[in-house]
Amino acid sequence: MSRLFRLISAFILFAVFATPAQASPEKFLEILERDFKLIQRSSVKTIGPVLADIQASDFDKAADFLSNWEGKSLWFRKEDNHFFYVTTEDKKTYSLINIISGQEAGTADKRELKQIKPNSGVRRLLSSALAQFRLVSPDLEVRRASLESISRDAKPEHLPALRAALTSETDAELKTHLYELERLLTMQFGVTPDERVEAIRGFAGNLNLDVRAKLNPLLTNSVSVAETLPEDANIARVIKPGRTYVDEDASAQNLTVLEWFSGEQAELTQDAAYAMLVNAGKAPALVTKAERDQALISNVIDGNVGRYEVTSLNTETMRDAAYSDLVVLGVVPVSPTPAQIEEAVNTHVFYASFSETDPEVTAAVRETLGSINSSVRWNTFLDLALDAISLASIYFLAAIGLAITFGVMRVINMAHGEFIMMGAYSGYVVQQFITNYTLSIIVAIPVAFAVTFAAGVALERLVIRHLYDRPLETLLATFGVSIALQQLAKNIFGTQARPLTAPDWLDGALVINDVVSISWIRIAIFGLSIIFFVGLWWTLNKTRLGLETRAVVQNPRMASSMGINPDKINMLTFGLGSGIAGIAGVAIGLYAKVTSELGSDYIVQSFMTVVIGGVGNIWGTLAGAGLIGVFQKLIENFNPSNTLAAQTYMIIFIIIFIQFRPRGLIALKGRAAEA
């Protein structure tokens, strides 16, 4: 029994002493009463100990007190020096709020109260103290908002608060942001060069835009001139005047061929360098023609300027000679000759010096920016690769239906683009009845397939079946159908673009870092293209329809003798290719403008994709889409604002490619290749 009693007693003692003591309001009020005069007449020099005591008090309402103090809502009553928060009811009567309870504490006349008005320096210190309170708030959202507020207007005073918050932060994501912001502030406001250098080097390879925005100003430099290179300046580079900029016309540059190709350039022309000498009072100013002529006019005596008659001063040479005489007489300032200008420039040193005085810091910044730029280049390449894959998936989705009608059936269907357009409009019509965008897209896919499948079957039965083995007539007929379908779409839907709205979960982009990102819509299209590729490959290789289709394509007579109906197979195959184009239209319409010309934007790329990949081979279609997407993005990368030029160069490339490989990247072999 005694043992049990001792265990219970020990547990009670542990609970009492292990529980953190809560700060009492009395202790907080004691601090305010003791430091009343320092708060009333607060200044940057005297406020520090007061803030330290308030922060150390651990009182849960201390942050409210500092916030009201900073916002000039803190008053005290003259008769007893008690602090209150005040709200104004009218010009004379003020409502008092107790700083401990937050409850109303009556009213007072304005004459009975005195407002605490901290100056800007005190408010800055109060803001820093508040940051410490908010950064350790139990509420995660308060801590996150405080961190965002500090990052927008970071000051040296925030460093202690950030470092203190780092030791207690439990949220992993917020702790990462805390650490990064603390490193940024240390980089800018660190006391010693060593800690600044350490913080700077910690950002090596970091792709955050804020990091680059803070690092680049540390390399800000200005050009100066001196007789000798100063030893106490942080020199960025020594400048040799006399060359023009590389971006000027190469024929006007005073550069050797080697210098031009290596990118070497000077930052100062000789004229600009001499102007710097004049502004620094190190050389006489150049006399302009207007100043020379005015000096000649001012020194005309009895029709002569020196030993020259005024009537003889009708050329630049004579005016220069007359001015030289005046220089000898000492009545006008000397105008330096080209040789004197060159000598003055050559006898001085022109240099750029960093605004940051510590060379170790600037060296670390250069090293870190070099690492960051290297990471940016690699990630830019990755971003370009993702864009190329995304574009390739769009081209593949647009061309996969054509891979059946043209690649397998050898039918040149110029109306294929209009089937894509019909699919997009089908999705738009569905969304007029189903307002849930996710459900509407799910419904739109089979609807678009059904509509374009039916349209494809109708086109095959009415037109294509009569033109097999007559490619020119097929091309002309389907081109006419294409024009008719475009005009029909304009008559029904008008010429304005119609919205095909993506679901909310497809909004935005997958952001990998500040360089690499890709929209969710394009990711969805990429996934859809893979599904279609697998589905079409399985259909053509693993189903009866696919087997019969390949049999009809390779040898229609033999297939017919085996009980296969070629007309039926041709109809179903053409309908399948058209239906797939309709589904592609729904996907493309999610990010492109749905107009009657939508299909025209993809018909050329679709044919090129099928031809360059290898006619009749869906693997070739996939390879062709990839090659065209990559090539177009590479060209656009050199001139992003001119996509038309990129497409033009791409077509030229494809024409040249076909000359060397007419059957495409992946050519069929055997009878299928000869069919």
Residue span of the structural domain in which 196 resides: 136-218
CB 625 within 8 A of CB 392: yes
pLDDT at 90 (0 to 100):
66
Whether residue 540 sits in one domain with residue 487: yes
**Percentage of the chain lying above the pLDDT 90 cut:** 6
Given a cut of 50, whether residue 593 has pLDDT beyond it is yes
The b-or-e profile of 623-658 (16+ CB within 10 A means b, else e) is bbbbbbbbbbbebbeeeeeeeeebbebbeebbeebe
Highest mean pLDDT among 518-532, 536-550, 639-653 belongs to 518-532
Output the pLDDT for position 251.
36
In a domain, 319, yes or no: no
pLDDT digits (tens, 9 = 90+) for 194-214: 888 888 888 888 888 888 888
Could you say which of 80, 98, 125 is where a domain stops? Answer: 125
Domain end (from 190, 218, 246)? 218
Residue at 3 is within a domain: no
| pLDDT at residue 237, rounded to an integer | 85
Residues 444 and 542 placed together within one structural domain of the fold: yes
pLDDT value of residue 31: 80
57-86 as b/e, with b when 16 or more CB fall inside 10 Å? bebebbbbbbbbbbeebbbbbeeeebbbbb
What is the per-residue pLDDT across 462-521, written as a single tens digit (0 to 9) for each? 988 888 778 888 888 988 999 999 999 999 988 888 888 888 888 888 888 888 888 888
Query: Which of 244-258, 290-304, 311-325 is least confident?
Result: 244-258
Same domain, 534 and 584: yes
Judgement on whether residues 457 and 604 belong to the same structural domain of the protein: yes
What's the pLDDT band for 455 if we cut at 50, 70, 90?
Answer: very high
Judge contact between 537 and 404, C-beta under 8 A: no
Residue 89: band (very low, low, confident or very high) from pLDDT cuts 50, 70, 90: low
pLDDT of residue 34: 82
Task: Kindly state the average pLDDT of the residues 521-548.
Answer: 85
Range with the poorest average pLDDT among 122-136, 296-310, 635-649: 635-649
Domain count, the chain: 3
410 pLDDT higher than 80? no
* Average predicted confidence (pLDDT) for the chain: 79
Q: Is the pLDDT of residue 540 over 90?
A: no
197 and 99 part of one domain: no
Give SS3 for 164.
Answer: helix
Single residue among 167, 202, 218 that ends a domain in this structure = 218
pLDDT reported for residue 659: 76
pLDDT level of residue 15 (50, 70, 90 thresholds): very low
Residue 107 forms part of a structural domain: yes
Considering the domain architecture, whether residues 495 and 635 belong to the same structural domain is answered as yes
Q: Is residue 412 part of a domain?
A: yes
551-590 tens-digit pLDDT: 877 777 887 888 888 888 888 888 888 898 899 899 888 8
- Does residue 12 have a pLDDT over 50? no
Q: What is the pLDDT of residue 253?
A: 37
Does residue 228 lie within any of the structural domains?
no
pLDDT of residue 668: 54
Tell whether 121 is covered by a domain: yes
Q: Which residues contact 22 (CB under 8 A, 6 or more apart)?
A: 58
Predicted pLDDT at 644: 67
Residues 541 and 659 in one domain: yes
Nearest C-alpha neighbor of 286 from the set 328, 346, 242, 340: 340
Shared domain check, 589 and 463: yes
Residue 275 lies in a domain: no
At 16 the pLDDT is: 30
- For the segment 178-197, the average pLDDT, to the nearest whole number, is 87
Note the pLDDT of residue 673: 45
Q: In terms of Cα–Cα distance, which of 584, 553, 133 is closest to 401?
A: 584
| Predicted confidence (pLDDT) at residue 252 exceeds the cutoff of 70 | no
In DSSP notation, 535-548 reads HHHHHHHHSHHHHH
Q: Which two tokens stand for residue 61?
A: 């309402």
Q: Please tell me which residue, 314 or 88, carries the higher pLDDT value.
A: 314
The pLDDT, as a whole number, for residue 258 is 36
Residues 58 and 188 in one domain: no
Does the structure show a pLDDT above 60 at 263? no
CATH code, domain with 611:
1.10.3470
Q: What's the confidence (pLDDT) of residue 9? A: 35
pLDDT for 573: 85
Q: Kindly state whether residues 156 and 116 are assigned to the same domain.
A: no
Flag whether pLDDT at 62 surpasses 80: no
Token output for 601: 């934007």
> Looking at the predicted structure, is the pLDDT value of residue 226 above 80?
yes
With H, G, I as helix, E, B as strand and everything else as coil, classify residue 249. Answer: coil
Confidence of residue 10 (pLDDT cuts 50, 70, 90): very low
pLDDT surpassing 70 at residue 32: yes
Instruction: Report the pLDDT averaged over residues 349-364.
Output: 89
- The pLDDT of residue 425 is 93
In this structure, of 332-341, 398-407, 449-458, 643-652, the range with the lowest mean pLDDT score is 643-652
Could you tell me if 37 and 156 lie in one domain? no
pLDDT exceeds 70 at position 641: no
For 504-515, the pLDDT digits (tens) are 888 888 888 888
Is residue 670 located within the same domain as residue 645?
A: yes
